Structure formats: structure tokens, C-alpha cells
Amino acid sequence: MLLSERRAVRYRRPSLSFLLCVLAMTGCARRYAPTMAAVPTAWRSHLLPFKPVSIASNGNLLWVCGADEMIAESVDGGNTWKVKHERAGGEVLLTIRMLGNRMVYSSGTAGLILLSVDGGSTWKSWTAGSQRVLEMIFADTQHGIRELPSSVETTADGGRNWSDVSMMKTDERVRQFSEVLGMAVLDGKHYAMLLHKPQGENMFLSSRDSGMTWKPLHIDNTYAVALFAHGKQYWAFGIEIVERQDHGGYSVPLVLHSRDGLRWVHGAKAPTEFTDCSKQGCVLYEGAIADLYGNKPHYLIYPGDISLTSQWATGPVSICTVAGRILCAAAAWSDRLPPRPESDQPIVGGPLYASPVAPPPDCLVCSLTPFPLDAKLLPQIPVKMNDQDQGQRQMLIPGLQSTLLVRYAIQTDGTVDQVDVDGAPLKEIASSVAANVGNWIFEPPRTSVDRKHEIRLVVVCMGAPSNDEATCNVTIPPQTLQ
């Protein structure tokens, strides 16, 4: 199943492979990218004077935004960065986008909008409403569309005034599709949205009059989770259920494109299901991204020794991702798909917490990133392994599960400080969990007094007998938020 994590403002769910591991008590050893001489195997960390949230690129030009209303630019593919705008104690910027190389715009909490039409040399800022802006896309200097927590709005005057897309609340055909998965604009008149019905299917909305009227479209057996504009067309990515006769069927990767949002045709055939799509492609697995906009896939090969977050952007020969800081690495495009890395971890039986619940209230970025751990530090636990030749048999593997109590303070700019972790069986686990929580970002509390909170987290570390390194995953168990 393909997981959608379009926005940085949402809780980052564990990968599907981890959830399967949790449900089946599998050890999920760390995966490695294929050896490729042309691509270095190291990521470079870039420390900025703020917590980054969102990233975008156009060729070698990259922009990031985040806390303290800070915006930074790189003109060399992520090698060096320069802060172009900041306001200490200001709002948290959640999105940053470009229209060409000169127009750069950003949006965030409390309805804040920032705009530069000279490549970031000067900025105009204003607020339009009081709600946080989850996504904002401009077609030109006047026409655009944005998503708020409670509505979608359009503008025809450069973002000074916004009009509600009332059809999403008044039309019974559309109202039940309450979750916005994607928005795209082709020009000042042509807009599209991808909507989702909770625990149901999806719907496209398209407009040819700058958002004044909309036409809905549902395509049976398709579950797109991402929508973009590329090459004067709308593009949607997800999965499709095929051969559903007699209640059967199976899922295959889905690529659709359309010139008007009403007539869609299938695009390139992806070699495997994918996750975390952006305007530049979709992640196939660690170390490989597929550009699916052409007649056949084109692949970006990059170091796969870390988990790429949902916020990533590429240059001609580089890739950068937001993971509490900026991480960049060299990358190379290829017409040939590299071999998929495989884990030698057995599938074993035993109960664990299933899936995480919602993040803490007012949390904008609450990522819980897996981290490595020396397998020698873990105790040996008995598990039942499914072996193709010998059937089910018992063996010992390094592993542990522990519930931690984490206390933290939220500062006036929404960042987290004073993280304390109680109950960790190893200091290495405590420090890694503290680093995870220390990267969280909340809605600025609008007060001079830090808000103090606590939360219970579950950490599961598992290894394989043949590996020196285990992987630890962190989740939020049910009924623990305070």
C-alpha cells in the first residue's frame, strides 16, 4: 500500500515495511543501497540557524523555510546555504515554492504569507486570515490556491484576499471527500485538487475559471495520493486495483495525467509501488527515485544509507532532504534501475504495538525517525522464524521493546527544548529519542512562558544474527498523549 506524506506539517508515519515488521514482530535490519561508483555513499549535514520544515528546488537553486520565519537559499545544489529572511520569535513557515527563479513565496502559521519577486533580495509579508496555511500554490503573481485546516481558498489579487471553495462544504457529492491530498495549477485559470474520503476512495476536482466553479470526477479502483502540475498537464500518482472480478484483484503502481482534469490517461509504468512523491519524482526504495513524467521511467540514484523524509528536493547532480536539519548528497540520473536492496531479517511471530495515533496537539512537525544501534548492546530474545525449507523454527535474535516517558518544553517560537527521557534501557536509545523529539516543531504558543508537556513513546529495536547493527523504530502508542 502506498503511503502519502505530502506535507511536512503532518505526523510522519512509519514506513509500510516497519508496520509489517511491528505486526509480525519482524526485525527489519538496516537496508543498504547498491554499490555505485558514480555516487558517493555519504550525506553532508548543513547546520542552519533555524529548524527547517520545507524544501523546494529548480535546477541548482534550492530554498528551505522553517521556524523564526527564516528562509535560506542555495545556488549550488545544496553545497552552501545563505539565510535570506528571518524574524526571531516569528511564525513557523510550512511551505516554500518557486515560480521561475525570481518569484519565491512561503506561507505558515497565523495566515502568514511571504513573497519575493527579485529572487529573495527583498520580501513582502502580510497575513491573510489567522489559520495556518498547509499548502499554497501560485500560477502567476495574481492567481493562486491555498489549503487551510478547515477550507480551500483561491485568490485573484496576489494573496491579499481569498475566497472559499464553497462546493467542498455544500455539494453532497463532494462534501464527504474531506481530506485534501494534493493541489495543482496549470495557469491562472486551470486549477485541480485531489480529495480523499476517510476510509474510502478519492475524487478529482477541476476548475477552468480560476476556481469560481468546479467539476468533480471519480475514477473507480484508483487511489491516487499525490497531484502535481508538470509540462502543462496534471499528474497523479498512487495505486490502482486491477482484476477485481469475483472479489479478487491486486494493486499496481498508478500514474495518470490529464490536460483538463476531466479526461485522464495512464502514464509510464513504474517498476514497483512507490512512496513520497514530489514534483520531481517518487521514491521507489532507499537509493532510487523514479521520474515518471515521460514515456518511460528515468531514475535518480542516491546514497541509501539514511531514510529519506517526505521533504526532499533534487538538483541536476544532488539531492537534499529535511530531517531536523538539511542533509545533502551527490546523485546521478540513469535509465537503468539499480537492484533493490534486500534485508536478510527473518519474519518472526509475537505481539507489539500496531500503529501510532495522532501527534500531540498543535504539532506541526513530529517526525519519529528510525535510528541505528549496535546489536551487541541488545539482549537476545527468542522468536519463531518462518523458514521456507524447515518451516517454523525458534531462534534467538538481538532485540528489545521499551516504553519511555519523554518530557519537553515548547519555546515561544514553536521549537522544542529541555527534552528528558525516562525509562530508556540504554543511554544510546535515550539520546537518539531525545534528538528525535528535539526536532519537533509546534504552533508558536503566543506567550512568553514555555509550555511543558510529556508523552509516552514506544521504542522497538531489532537486529539479525548476521548483522552488527540493529534498527530502532519509535511510535506513539494509543491513549498516552497528555
pLDDT average, residue stretch 315-322: 94
Q: Is residue 17 part of a domain?
A: no
**Domain end: 297, 314, 334, which one?**
334
Q: Is the pLDDT of residue 20 over 60?
A: no
> 306 with 444, same domain?
no
Residue 253 has pLDDT above 90, yes or no: yes
Helix-strand-coil split of the chain, %, nearest 5: 10, 45, 50
Predicted confidence band of residue 38 (pLDDT cuts 50, 70, 90): low
Which among 334, 351, 373 is the end of a domain? 334
Structure-block grid coordinates of residue 171: 455539494
Residues 211 and 311 both lie in one domain: yes
pTM: predicted TM-score of the whole model, two decimal places? 0.85
- 20-29, 76-85, 449-458: the lowest-pLDDT one: 20-29
In-domain check, residue 319? yes
Q: Is the dihedral of CA 216, 221, 227, 230 positive or negative?
A: negative
Question: In this structure, are 233 and 151 located in the same domain?
Answer: yes
Residue with cell 534528538: 435
User: Is 238's pLDDT higher than 90?
Assistant: yes
Check whether 37 has a pLDDT greater than 70.
Answer: no
Q: Examine the domain organization and report whether 269 and 408 are in the same domain.
A: no
Higher pLDDT, 374 or 10: 374
Query: Residue 396 falls within a domain, yes or no?
Result: yes
Determine the distance from the C-alpha atom of residue 304 to the mean position of all C-alpha atoms in its chain, rounded to a whole number: 17
Region 249-255 average pLDDT: 92
426-444: average pLDDT: 95
Cell numbers that stand for 296 in this block: 518511460
Q: Is there a contact between 314 and 301 (Cβ–Cβ < 8 Å)?
A: no
Statement: residue 450 has pLDDT above 80? no
> Do residue 313 and residue 374 come from a single domain?
no
Q: Based on the number of CB atoms within 10 Å of its own CB, is 408 exposed (0-12), middle (13-18) or buried (19 or more)?
A: buried
Inform me whether the pLDDT recorded for 32 exceeds 90.
Answer: no
Residue 144 CA to residue 185 CA, distance in Å, equals 8
> For residue 311, is pLDDT > 80?
yes
pLDDT, tens digit, 9 for 90 and up, residues 113-161:
999 999 999 999 999 999 999 999 999 999 999 999 999 999 999 999 9
Helix, strand or coil for residue 122? coil
Q: Give Rg (Cα) of the chain.
A: 23
Q: Is 170 exposed, middle or buried (0-12, 13-18, 19+ CB in 10 A)?
A: exposed
The verdict on 306 and 406 lying in the same domain is no
Other beta carbons within 10 Å of 100 = 10
Give the DSSP letter string of 173-199.
HHHT--EEEEEEESSSS-EEEEEE-TT
At residue 390, the pLDDT reads 65
Q: Give the mean model confidence (pLDDT) for residues 231-242.
A: 95
Name the burial class of residue 185, with classes exposed (0-12), middle (13-18) and buried (19+) by CB atoms within 10 angstroms of its CB.
Answer: buried
- In this structure, the answer to whether residues 298 and 409 fall within a common structural domain is no
Q: Examine the domain organization and report whether 311 and 402 are in the same domain.
A: no
Instruction: Identify the pLDDT of residue 36.
Output: 40
Domain boundary (334, 353, 374) is at 334
Q: Is 153 inside a domain boundary?
A: yes
Q: Could you give the CA distance from residue 293 to residue 417 in angstroms, rounded to a whole number?
A: 42
The answer to whether 401 and 424 are in contact (CB under 8 A) is no
Distances (CA, A) of 194 to 67, 261, 388, 462: 28, 10, 43, 38
In a domain, 348, yes or no: no
Q: Same structural domain for residues 159 and 302?
A: yes
The answer to whether residues 327 and 383 belong to one domain is no
Note whether residue 13 is domain-resident. Answer: no
Residue 123 belongs to domain spanning: 32-334
For residue 203, the cross-strand partners are 195
Q: Model confidence over 337-360: pLDDT tens digits?
A: 988 876 544 444 333 333 456 788
Query: What average pLDDT does this structure show over 84-94?
Result: 94
Same domain, 139 and 249: yes
What is the pLDDT at residue 393?
A: 75
Q: Quick one: 308 and 367 in the same domain?
A: no
Given this model, what pLDDT does residue 447 score?
Answer: 74
Summary mean pLDDT of the chain: 86
- The mean pLDDT of 202-214, rounded to a whole number, is 97
**CATH number of residue 276's parent domain:** 2.130.10.10
Cell of 427: 543511554
Lowest mean pLDDT among 88-102, 354-368, 430-444, 461-475: 354-368
Query: What is the per-residue pLDDT for 374?
Result: 95
Is residue 418 in a domain? yes
Query: What pLDDT band is residue 384 in, cutting at 50, 70 and 90?
Result: confident
Distance CA 177, CA 90 (A): 34
For residue 132, is it within any domain?
Answer: yes
How many domains, in total, are found in the chain? 2
Task: Write the single-letter amino acid at 57.
Answer: S
